[in-house]
Amino acid sequence: MTNSPAQGDWVPDSCTLPTVEQPIRVAEFDRLFADAVRSIRRPGPQRLELVLTGDTEQAARDLAGRESSCCSFFTFDFATTTEGPVMVVGVPAAYIEVLDAFAARVQAGIGDGR
């Protein structure tokens, strides 16, 4: 598996989203990370948890649904906790590097203050 360097090393070659649409999707995730993610947790190498602001869960669900249709190795689940809604992102072991890059992108989007 290799990743597309033009997309910040987290769009794998196995992604079926047309190449021309990939920068748009990356920008959508960047916007979600900056606007909706309050904090990030990494309970294991194959799992990432994004604590969302309360009013952004539906937008996150929509984006996750669209991402699942082109990158079927991603799993997205949602939970409600005392901290607020949580978007859970999972990958098989073969895609840990993609999740690592995804997590780095999230952290860059939310900054060090969260």
Give the pLDDT confidence of 41-52 residue by residue, as tens digits: 999 999 999 999
Question: pLDDT digits over 32-84, tens only?
Answer: 999 999 999 999 999 999 999 989 999 999 999 998 888 889 999 999 999 99
Q: How far apart are CA 57 and CA 80, in angstroms?
A: 10
CATH architecture classification, 16-110: 2-Layer Sandwich (3.30)
For the chain, give the longest Cα–Cα distance: 39
Q: What is the pLDDT of residue 10?
A: 54
Burial status of residue 65 (CB atoms within 10 A of its CB: 0-12, 13-18, 19 or more): exposed
The stretch 19-24 carries a mean pLDDT of 76
Dist. CA 73–CA 6, nearest whole Å = 20
Q: Note if the pTM is more than 0.75.
A: yes
Query: What does the alpha-carbon distance between residue 45 and residue 22 come to, in Å, rounded to a whole number?
Result: 25
